[in-house]
Amino acid sequence: MIKRKSGFLAVSLSALMIFTAACSNEESSGDGDVFTYSFFNASSTGKDVNTADTKIGKMFEEETGVNFDIEHIVGDSNQKIGTMIASGEYPDLLNAQNATNDVIDAGGFVPLNDLIEEHAPNLRKLYDPIWEKMKQEDGNIYILPSGVSNGYIKPPNINQSAFYIKRDALKELGYPHPKTVDEYFDIIEEYAKANPTTEDGADTIPYTLLQYDWHVGQLFDPPSFLSGEPEGIIVDKETLEVSVPHNKDITKEWLGKLNELNDKGLFDRESFTQNFDEYLAKISSGRVVGWFGPWWESEAALETLEQDDDPYNDFMGFPIVFEEGIKDQYLNPVSYVTSPGTGLTSGTSEEDQVRIIKFLDHMAKIDSQKLITWGIEGETYEVNEEGRFYRTEEQIAEVANREFADEFGFTALGWYWPIMSGTFDDGNSVDPNVQPEVAQMAYDETDKEFLEAYDIEMFTDLFTEPDPAPWFPFWDARIETGSEAQLYDQQSRDLIKRSYPDIILASPSEFDAEWDSFKDSFDELPYEAYEDVIEASVKREAELIE
C-alpha cells in the first residue's frame, strides 16, 4: 500500500479534512513528495523497518523520493503467501520465496520487461547476462533476483553449506582434519563423550539439524554433497541427465549414519520438533558440537557466537564426503539464479510501478551497488593507491556490529534487492567479506590459530573450487502449477518430513524395514516427471549461458 508524504506542511485544518475525504489515505501533494511503498520479504526473518530510517535508505529517498516499509516473514511463509493469493491483496513489492510460481500463476506479479526497457537502463545492464534466462514461458519477466554474477571469486570464508564442528572439539583433539563422514562423526563422538556437559552445566548436543517450514536442506542436501555433487540433484556432466537423490543408495547411506548416531545417543531427537528460533538458540548456546548446513541459514546464531567470551564455541566448516577420493563440490559455482526474487505486484498502479522500477534502477547503478555493499568511503571502507578497497580493524568491527549494520542500511538494503555478485569491473569484490584485504584483516587470533594449524591462508582453502554448472541453482526451474512435477515436489517433501524421522530414530534392527517402506512410498510418486522438468531446465540453461 502506498503512502505519500508531502513537502508542503502548512495546510489548514479545513483543507486537510476536505483533502482527506476526497483522497482517502493520501496526504497533500507538492514539491518534495515522498512515496512509501510496502515490501513483504518471505525469505528473511529480519527486523521490520522503513528503509528511510537507515542511512543508505535515507540517501536513496532523497535521490528518488521513494522508501519502503519492509515486513519480514513470521511463521509459515507458504500460508502467508497463500492468504495473499486467496484475497488478491498484495504488498507493492514481494519476495514470495517458495511460493513465487504460485503468485505468478495467480497473476499476482506484473510483467517487468517493458518497465525495465523504458525506465531502467541500469537494471537492464545488470540483468543483461541472464535476461533471456529470467523470462517465463510466456516471455515475461516477473522476478528480479539477487546475486547476478559478474565473474567468480572464491570466498575466503564459508558462507555456504559445509559440515561444521565446534572449534573447541578440534583444539582438544589436536586439530584433526576430517575428510569422510565417518571421521567427522568420530570427532563428534569422542569430544561429546569427554564433554557430556558444557562449563555452565548444560547438556552437550553432539549433533543437531533443522527441519522446519522451508528449512529442510540440512536433512535433504547431504547425500548429494557427500557424493561429490552440488546440492539437491544429480546431474550427469556428459549427458546432463538428471535424477533425484532421495531414493538412491547415497540417501540410505546418509540416513544410516544418522541412525547410528542416534543409536549412540549422539543425535538431537528434538531436531524434528524444534522451530527455527529454538534451533538458533541451540547453535548460539555453545552446546552444539556439530551440524550441517549453509552458514547464512544459522547466521544470526553464529553472529552471537562471534561476540561470545569463548571464541572456541564458534565453528569451522569442512567439505566432508563419503570416502576419500571424492571431489567435493560445496562451493557455489557462478550463479545465474533468477528465483526466488522480488517482483512488483498487481496491486500497484502504473504510476507506482514506474516510481518503484526507477528506485530499483537507482539501486542498480554501480555507485549505489558499492554503497549498498561497501558503504561510504572514509566511513566504512578505504581505498589504497592501487584502487583496492579495504577496511581498517575499527571499520571491520563496526560493520560486524548488527545494530550498526541495521542502522546504516546494510541489512535492509542488501540481499533480496537487485544486487550483483562476483567483482566490480575495477577488480574489487562486490562482497567486502570476500575481498582478500578485508578477510585477512578480519581474522582474529583464534582464526589465525586454526589457519596455521591446518596450514591454510583462508578457510576455503580446504574446499575444491566448483566445476562450471550453468544450470545452478536447479530450483530455478519453472514447475507448472498442478503438474505432476509440482505434485511430486510437494508430496516428496511431505513424505520425507514424515518418514525420515522414523528412519533415523528407529532401532538399527528396524532401519532397513523403515527405509524400504519409505522407498516403496517414494517410488509411487511421479518423480520421473519432476526429473524430466529439471532436466529440460538444466539443458536449456546450459544452452542459454553458452
Q: What is the pLDDT of residue 337?
A: 62
If residue 81 lies in a helix (H) or strand (E), which one and from where to where? Answer: helix 77-87
Examine the pLDDT at 246 and tell me if it is beyond 70. Answer: yes
pLDDT one-digit tens code per residue, 451-461 = 999 999 999 99
Q: What is the Cα–Cα distance from 84 to 82, expressed in whole angstroms?
A: 5
Strand duo 34-41 + 93-95: pairing: parallel
Q: What is the pLDDT of residue 338?
A: 54
pTM exceeding the 0.75 threshold for the entire prediction? no
Examine the pLDDT at 27 and tell me if it is beyond 70. Answer: no
Q: What is the pLDDT of residue 22?
A: 36
The three cell numbers locating residue 428: 574489487
Q: What is the pLDDT of residue 1?
A: 55
Examine the pLDDT at 9 and tell me if it is beyond 50. Answer: no
The three cell numbers locating residue 523: 517410488
Q: What are phi and psi for residue 156, nearest 5 degrees?
A: -75, -25
The three cell numbers locating residue 247: 531414493
Rounded to an integer, the average pLDDT of 356-385 is: 98
**Distances in whole angstroms, Cα of residue 480 to Cα of each of 4, 216, 483, 530:** 38, 22, 6, 10
Q: What is the pLDDT of residue 476?
A: 63
Query: What count of other Cβ atoms lies within 10 Å of the Cβ of residue 480?
Result: 12
Of residues 237 and 115, more confidently modeled: 115
pLDDT one-digit tens code per residue, 126-175 = 999 889 888 888 999 999 998 888 888 888 998 889 999 999 999 999 99
Cell numbers 531446465: residue: 537
Identify the band that residue 475 occupies on the pLDDT scale cut at 50, 70 and 90. low
Examine the pLDDT at 320 and tell me if it is beyond 80. Answer: yes
Q: What is the Cα–Cα distance from 253 to 251, expressed in whole angstroms?
A: 5
Would you list the DSSP string of 294-331? Answer: EGGGGHHHHHHHHTSS-GGGSEEEE--BSSTTPPP--S
Residue 203 CA, distance from chain mean position: 30
Identify the band that residue 19 occupies on the pLDDT scale cut at 50, 70 and 90. very low
Q: What is the Cα–Cα distance from 324 to 336, expressed in whole angstroms?
A: 31
Identify the band that residue 473 occupies on the pLDDT scale cut at 50, 70 and 90. confident
The three cell numbers locating residue 450: 586454526
Identify the band that residue 29 occupies on the pLDDT scale cut at 50, 70 and 90. very low
Q: In sequence order, which residues have a C-beta less than 8 Å from that of residue 298 and are 6 or more positions away?
A: 279, 280, 283, 291
Rounded to an integer, the average pLDDT of 62-74 is: 95
The H-assigned helical ranges of 159-275 are 167-172, 181-194, 217-220, 222-226, 249-263
Q: What is the DSSP letter of 130?
A: G
Of residues 186 and 546, more confidently modeled: 186
* Alpha-carbon torsion angle 482, 485, 487, 493, nearest 10: -140
Q: What's the whole-number average pLDDT of the chain?
A: 90
Q: What is the pLDDT of residue 286?
A: 92
Specify whether the CB–CB gap between 209 and 291 falls below 8 A: yes
Q: What is the Cα–Cα distance from 546 to 538, expressed in whole angstroms?
A: 12
Specify whether the CB–CB gap between 204 and 289 falls below 8 A: yes
pLDDT one-digit tens code per residue, 181-227 = 999 999 999 999 999 999 888 999 999 999 998 888 898 999 999 99
- CB burial of residue 30 (10 Å; 0-12, 13-18, 19+): exposed
Q: What is the DSSP letter of 94?
A: E
Rounded to an integer, the average pLDDT of 278-295 is: 95
Rounded to an integer, the average pLDDT of 240-251 is: 95
Specify whether the CB–CB gap between 71 and 370 falls below 8 A: no
Three-state secondary structure call for residue 71: strand
